[in-house]
C-alpha cells in the first residue's frame, strides 16, 4: 500500500497590506513613509498599517497616530478605504486560485494554499511561491511573503518567523529540520503565544519553542488542560487540519454584531437605541442567510480595559426567530437584568443555536408572518438603495449610530 502523499501547504502574507494598497494607488508616495490611520484630519486614531519606510522611523501598528507623527513628522497619513482593501484581497484570492482550488482565507491579508496537487503543473514549491509573488506584484503592486511546510501551523510560523525577515520573502520549513530551525527560537515568537502566556512559560523554565516541544505533555495539560496540549502540538508542528475553502461559512454557529461607541453611554434611553440597531443588523443577517436563532446573547464593556466592567449573558427563546423585535425584546430583558448602570463603551448582540427559517413555529397570538413580510420589504429596500434608505426613527436620535455605521466597513470608512 502506497504511503499518503506528503502535503505542501503555504501561508501567503501581504506585506503591510493596507499601506501597500495605498502606495500602489498613489505612486507619488512610493518613496515616502506612509501609514493608514483612523482620522488624519484630527491627527487622532490608531495606526492600522505602516509601510516598511515608516517602520524604519519606529512607527508601529496599533500605536496612536499622534505618537507616530512625533517619531516621523513628515509621515504621509491616509484614511482607510475598507471597500478597496476587500476588493484587492479578493483579487489576490483569484490569483491564488489560478494555482490551486484549495485556498482558505485566514485574514484579509493572509491565506493558506494547499499546492500538493499543483507541483506537477507549476514546478517545485519554491517555483510556485516565486510565480505567485511575481503575479500578485504585477497585478496589484503588493509584495507577498510565503511560508511553506507540510501543515498549516508550520507554514504560518515559517512565514511569520522566517519569510518576513529574509530577502526574497520565501522560506521552506522542513519537518526533519525543526530542531535546527524552529526550536531554538524564543517561545514568544511561536504562533498562539502572547505576552501573558510568555510570562507563564518563563516561570515554568520554558524559554524557547524547543523547550516547549520537549516538555512532558502531562505537565502542560495539568496546568492548562486542552490548551496545554494545543501549545505542545503547535511547538511540534502537529496539525492535520485541511486547507478548506469557505470553511468559516460552513462552520457558522452564531450570527452577531458588536459596536464600539464614540463615547460613554450612561442612560438606558441611549443604550436602548444602540441595542435596537444591533438587533436589526443581526436579524437582517439571519434573514439573508435563511436562518433563525433560538438563543440570544448580549454583552457590554466599559472603556477602561485595565479595570473591566460589563457583562455577557444569554437566554433561550421559546421559539427560534429572525424577527428584529423578538431579538430586541430578549436583548432588553437581559440588559435590564444584568447591567449595573456603569458607563458602556462597547455593546454586542448575537443569536445562536441556528435553524433553517423554513421550519416555522405557528403561534396562536401575534402575527409573525406579517412581521416577516414587513422586514423582508425593508431588507429589499436597503439592499437596493443603501443602508440609510429606510431607518427607524430612533436611529435619528443623538445616540443612534446607524447613519455613521453605514459609511464604514469593519469599523473603518469604506
- Cβ distance 157 to 190 under 8 Å? yes
- Nearest of 104, 124, 231 to residue 170 by alpha carbon: 124
Whole-prediction pTM value? 0.70
Radius of gyration of the chain (CA): 24
Confidence category of residue 182, pLDDT binned at 50, 70, 90: very high
The helix/strand/coil state of 160 is helix
3-state helix, strand, coil in the chain (%, to 5): 45, 25, 30
- Cβ distance 88 to 21 under 8 Å? yes
* End-to-end Cα distance, the chain: 55
Which range, of 241-245, 289-293, 304-308, averages the lowest pLDDT?
304-308
**Class for the domain spanning 179-236:** mainly alpha
List the chain domain ranges.
17-80, 179-236, 252-413
Average pLDDT over residues 327-341: 93
* pLDDT at residue 248, as a whole number: 46
* pLDDT at residue 368, as a whole number: 72
Please write the tens of the pLDDT for every residue from 225-273.
999 999 999 999 999 999 998 654 445 678 898 888 888 999 999 999 9
The domain defined by 252-413 folds into: Dna Ligase; domain 1 (3.30.1490)
User: Rounded to an integer, what distance in angstroms lies between the CA atom of residue 406 and that of residue 414?
Assistant: 9
User: Rounded to an integer, what distance in angstroms lies between the CA atom of residue 34 and that of residue 19?
Assistant: 7
Looking at every residue in the chain, the average pLDDT score rounds to 88
CATH number of the domain at 17-80, out of 3.40.50.300, 3.40.50.720, 3.40.1170.60, 3.40.190.80?
A: 3.40.1170.60
- Nearest of 403, 316, 309, 321 to residue 347 by alpha carbon: 309
Query: What are the two backbone dihedrals, phi and then psi, of residue 357, each rounded to the nearest 5 degrees?
Result: -80, 5
User: Rounded to an integer, what distance in angstroms lies between the CA atom of residue 243 and that of residue 171?
Assistant: 19
User: Rounded to an integer, what distance in angstroms lies between the CA atom of residue 230 and that of residue 99?
Assistant: 31
The label of the residue with cell 468559516 reads: 248
Please write the tens of the pLDDT for every residue from 242-255.
999 865 444 567 88
Residue 55 grid coordinates? 517602520
E runs forming strands in 189-274: 254-265
What is the chain's length?
A: 414
* pLDDT at residue 183, as a whole number: 98
Please write the tens of the pLDDT for every residue from 93-140.
999 999 999 999 999 999 999 999 999 999 999 999 999 999 999 999
User: Rounded to an integer, what distance in angstroms lies between the CA atom of residue 306 and that of residue 309?
Assistant: 9
Collect all residues with Cβ–Cβ distance below 8 Å to 386 and sequence separation of at least 6.
406
- Cβ distance 315 to 296 under 8 Å? yes
Binding site as annotated, residues for Mg(2+): 13, 109
On the question of pLDDT at 389 being above 80, the answer is no
List active site positions. Answer: 110
Buried b (16+ CB within 10 A) or exposed e, 113-151: bbbbebeeebeebeebbbebbebbeeebbbbbbbbbbbb
User: Rounded to an integer, what distance in angstroms lies between the CA atom of residue 361 and that of residue 363?
Assistant: 6
User: Rounded to an integer, what distance in angstroms lies between the CA atom of residue 51 and that of residue 275?
Assistant: 38
* pLDDT at residue 383, as a whole number: 73
Collect all residues with Cβ–Cβ distance below 8 Å to 6 and sequence separation of at least 6.
116, 150
- Cβ distance 77 to 117 under 8 Å? no
User: Rounded to an integer, what distance in angstroms lies between the CA atom of residue 288 and that of residue 350?
Assistant: 15
* pLDDT at residue 193, as a whole number: 95
- Eight-class DSSP state of 271: H
CA atoms within 13 A on the CB side of 64: 6
User: Rounded to an integer, what distance in angstroms lies between the CA atom of residue 7 and that of residue 56?
Assistant: 37
Amino acid at each position: 500500500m502506497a504511503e499518503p502523499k506528503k502535503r505542501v501547504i503555504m501561508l501567503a502574507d501581504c506585506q503591510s497590506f493596507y499601506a501597500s494598497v495605498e502606495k500602489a494607488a498613489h505612486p507619488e508616495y512610493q518613496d515616502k513613509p506612509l501609514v493608514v490611520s483612523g482620522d488624519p484630519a484630527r491627527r487622532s486614531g490608531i495606526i492600522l498599517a505602516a509601510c516598511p519606510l515608516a517602520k524604519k522611523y519606529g512607527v508601529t501598528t496599533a500605536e496612536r497616530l499622534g505618537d507616530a507623527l512625533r517619531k516621523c513628522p513628515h509621515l504621509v497619513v491616509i484614511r482607510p478605504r475598507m471597500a478597496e482593501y476587500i476588493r484587492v484581497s479578493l483579487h489576490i484570492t483569484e490569483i491564488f486560485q489560478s494555482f490551486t482550488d484549495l485556498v482558505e482565507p485566514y485574514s484579509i491579508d493572509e491565506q493558506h494554499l494547499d499546492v500538493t496537487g499543483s507541483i506537477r503543473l507549476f514546478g517545485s514549491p519554491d517555483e510556485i511561491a516565486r510565480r505567485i509573488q511575481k503575479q500578485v506584484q504585477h497585478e496589484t503592486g503588493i509584495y507577498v511573503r510565503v511560508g511553506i511546510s507540510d501543515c498549516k501551523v508550520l507554514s504560518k510560523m515559517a512565514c511569520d518567523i522566517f519569510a518576513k525577515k529574509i530577502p526574497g520573502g520565501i522560506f521552506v520549513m522542513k519537518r526533519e529540520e525543526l530542531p535546527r530551525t524552529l526550536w531554538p527560537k524564543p517561545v514568544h515568537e511561536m504562533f498562539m503565544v502572547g505576552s501573558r502566556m510568555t510570562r507563564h512559560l518563563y516561570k515554568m523554565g520554558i524559554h524557547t519553542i524547543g523547550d516547549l516541544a520537549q516538555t512532558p505533555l502531562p505537565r502542560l495539560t495539568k496546568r492548562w488542560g486542552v490548551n496545554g496540549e494545543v501549545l505542545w502540538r503547535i511547538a511540534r508542528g502537529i496539525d492535520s487540519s485541511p486547507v478548506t475553502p469557505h470553511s468559516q461559512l460552513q462552520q457558522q454557529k452564531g450570527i452577531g454584531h458588536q459596536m464600539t461607541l464614540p463615547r460613554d453611554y450612561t442612560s438606558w434611553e441611549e443604550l436602548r437605541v444602540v441595542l435596537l440597531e444591533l438587533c436589526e443588523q443581526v436579524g437582517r443577517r439571519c434573514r439573508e442567510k435563511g436562518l433563525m436563532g433560538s438563543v440570544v446573547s448580549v454583552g457590554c464593556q466599559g472603556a477602561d480595559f485595565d479595570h473591566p466592567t460589563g457583562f455577557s449573558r444569554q437566554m433561550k427563546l421559546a421559539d427560534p426567530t429572525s424577527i428584529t423585535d423578538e431579538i430586541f425584546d430578549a436583548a432588553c430583558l437581559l440588559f435590564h437584568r444584568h447591567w449595573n448602570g456603569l458607563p458602556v463603551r462597547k455593546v454586542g448582540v448575537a443569536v445562536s443555536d441556528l435553524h433553517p427559517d423554513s421550519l416555522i413555529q405557528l403561534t396562536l397570538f401575534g402575527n409573525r408572518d406579517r412581521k416577516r413580510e414587513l422586514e423582508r420589504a425593508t431588507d429589499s429596500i436597503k439592499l437596493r438603495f443603501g443602508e440609510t434608505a429606510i431607518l427607524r426613527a430612533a436611529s435619528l436620535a443623538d445616540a443612534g449610530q446607524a447613519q455613521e455605521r453605514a459609511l464604514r466597513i469593519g469599523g473603518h470608512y469604506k
